[in-house]
Amino acid sequence: MVEVRGVSKQYGNKTVIDSVSLQIAKGKITSFIGPNGAGKSTLLSMISRLLTKDTGEIYIDGVEIGKCKSNELAKKISILKQSNNINIRLTIRELVSFGRFPYSQGNMTKGDWKYVDEAIAYMELEDIQHKYLDQLSGGQRQRAYIAMVLAQNTEYILLDEPLNNLDMKHSVQIMKVLRRLVDELGKTIILVIHDINFASCYSDYIVALKDGAVVKEGHVDEMIASNVLKDIYEMDFHIQNVNSNRICVYYA
Amino acid sequence: MKIWYLLIALILFSITSLFIGVKDIHPLDLFSMTEDQAQIMLISRIPRLISIIIAGVSMSIAGLIMQQLSRNKFVSPTTAGTMDSARLGVLMAMILFTSASALEKMIVAFAFALLGTFIFMKILEKVKFKDVIFIPLVGLMFGSIISSMTTFIGLKYDLIQSASAWLQGNFSVIMTGRYELLYLSIPLVLIAYLFANKFTIAGMGEDFSLNLGLNYRRVVNTGLIIVALVSSVVILTIGTIPFLGLIIPNIVSIFNGDNLKKNLPHTALLGAVFVLFCDILGRVVIFPYEIPIGLTVGVLGSGIFLYLLMRRKAYE
């Protein structure tokens, strides 16, 4: 379980996260939603220790992250940021193999390669595993990064806008994979997501942030409601049930 | 790129290099050398060959490390102020300790090179406009500022001639007793190889490194120390070899990608082969005179550099 207790973050004298407390359940997909500048990515970065927090505590399985060795944390929690526009020429296989770094420190064993093979197979990248990242489409690249995180084999996987710049087909593909990771492998996934309908269809829990604070959190069914969403986004929503999914129509 | 081809080229060029020079030594003489010929081999030709290989290997690797750490293909010791800072360091050493030994000069040059490179990396962090070409331009400007300080101080203390000696790389001055400092580069290259995987990860950025539990700062600092040491050692023994750290890693990257562990042997060998080739060229073009290596590498290198720039445009 991830537990956030009274965490705040300031940039200069602007408070980006204001004393946020929340609990994130294991083995579920939890989505952070909210308008631009709500502090979603900042909160995610703090949970993954990429950003230091000003006050408060963050516990992962009962251990405060500040008290944990960075290398040990790398075996427990992984994060993919939207800014992963790395312009480095690696093949998919090489990239995925770096996911084993926390375990191998660069000296890959047979066991490490087995994880790499499995991750590549899971993301269906076998055919193109020797291609360079700069030869891939956006969707393939995103899958390669997720394969790397899979090879890292952490219980918690944090994703910052994983659907950014992806078309509908690839977005659905990625979300289905995330769903499988949770349902089949028991991972815990936390993501920042902008498309409210993707959040509605694929997550278990939703945490809504606004102006650096949690406005409301809960199960998808309670969160995808017109009055709740109106509070968060300050616009009108019509919710319709389509094939047992709750779909928001907000194109006024 | 096959590593065997590079190795064979290196051996062929090495043999050629040993038997080119004003004093005629034929490969067949090898087993019946006169005193005179043996002297030339041991005092001049072999040291020259060794220094070419070490300089070629270490400068290419220094360039590769810098490109990886700055995440920019056009950054190298010559385009980031490292070389200029090292030169200022040598000049300061000559002013402060009038009869400085090579090692003392090297230490001061290293301190300056490290500081200069560090400042450049700090500027890099501050610069918001991270265009691929803009960054090395900043580096060149930064280098020019330091270089003008060197000129100013050099003029003031009447040392400008010594200072400009390091401007042009030159292997013809290499003799026993004047190049041994270069051996320091060998352990540095080995350390670079041990750190190869960490450099690759650091090249994917700070967040990426932290996600994998890597101490980003420590890896970057290690890289910068290696680069600064190599640069100051090379500048003191041979002088500036422009473009080397820029073109060699770029050529290897085109064929081999950016996985350092896989790249380092190729980069090292290609660097040595390229410098050897340029040196041989410089020695035969106006035989029995010589063109300094800085000039041959500069001319060939700038041509290749232009090609790389054009290729990048076509690629995008």
What would the pLDDT profile of B39-84 be if each residue is shown by its tens digit?
Answer: 888 888 899 999 999 999 999 999 999 999 988 888 999 889 999 9
Does position B281 have pLDDT exceeding 60, yes or no?
yes
Q: Which domain CATH number covers B230?
A: 1.10.3470.10
Interface probe with B: pick from A72, A76, A88, A97, most Cβ of B within 10 Å: A88
Q: What is the mean pLDDT of residues B6-12?
A: 94
* Sequence-ordered alpha helix ranges (H) in chain B: 3-18, 35-40, 46-70, 82-96, 102-126, 134-156, 160-165, 185-194, 196-202, 206-211, 216-237, 244-256, 260-284, 293-315
Question: What is the residue whose two structure tokens read 């650096």?
Answer: A212
Residue B167: pLDDT band with limits 50, 70, 90: low
Q: How far is CA B240 from CA A3, B4, B72, B110, B304, in A?
A: 56, 29, 21, 14, 18
Contacts with A135 from chain B: Cβ below 8 Å: none
Mean pLDDT for all residues in chain B: 88
Contacts with A50 from chain B: Cβ below 8 Å: 207, 210-211
CA atoms B306, B233, B37, B7: torsion sign: negative
Residue B132: pLDDT band with limits 50, 70, 90: confident
The answer to whether residue B249 neighbours chain A at the CB level (below 8 Å) is: no
Q: Read off the tokens for B40.
A: 């030339």
Does position A158 have pLDDT exceeding 90, yes or no?
yes
Interface probe with B: pick from A89, A94, A133, most Cβ of B within 10 Å: A89
Question: CA–CA separation, A79 vs A43, rounded Å?
Answer: 12
Order the strands of the A14-24 sheet from edge to edge: A14-24, A2-11, A55-60, A63-64
pTM confidence score: 0.89
pLDDT greater at residue A167 or residue B61 = B61
Question: CA–CA separation, B212 vs B222, rounded Å?
Answer: 18
Contacts with A91 from chain B: Cβ below 8 Å: 257, 259
Residue B316: pLDDT band with limits 50, 70, 90: very low
Contacts with A45 from chain B: Cβ below 8 Å: 207
Segment A99-152, tens digit of pLDDT: 999 999 988 999 999 999 999 999 999 999 999 988 888 888 889 999 999 999
Question: CA–CA separation, A101 vs A88, rounded Å?
Answer: 17
Question: CA–CA separation, A57 vs B69, rounded Å?
Answer: 32
Q: Which of A81, A83, A102 sits opposite B212 (nearest CB)?
A: A102
- For residue B250, the one-letter residue type is N
pLDDT at B111: 93
Number of domains in chain B: 1
B173-211 residues labelled b (16+ CB within 10 A) or e (exposed): ebeeeebebbebbeebbeebbebbbbbbbbbbbebbbbb
Interface probe with B: pick from A94, A101, A135, A190, most Cβ of B within 10 Å: A101
Percent of chain A with pLDDT over 90: 74
> Domain residues for B206?
3-28+35-314
Contacts with B71 from chain A: Cβ below 8 Å: 86-88
pLDDT at B166: 66
- Nearest Cα of chain B lies from the Cα of A100 at a distance, in angstroms, of 8
| A70:B253 CB<8 A | no
pLDDT at B21: 79
Residue A154: pLDDT band with limits 50, 70, 90: very high
Q: Which of A49, A83, A91 sits opposite B210 (nearest CB)?
A: A49
Question: CA–CA separation, A33 vs A28, rounded Å?
Answer: 16
Do A64 and A58 meet the contact criterion of CB atoms below 8 Å apart?
yes
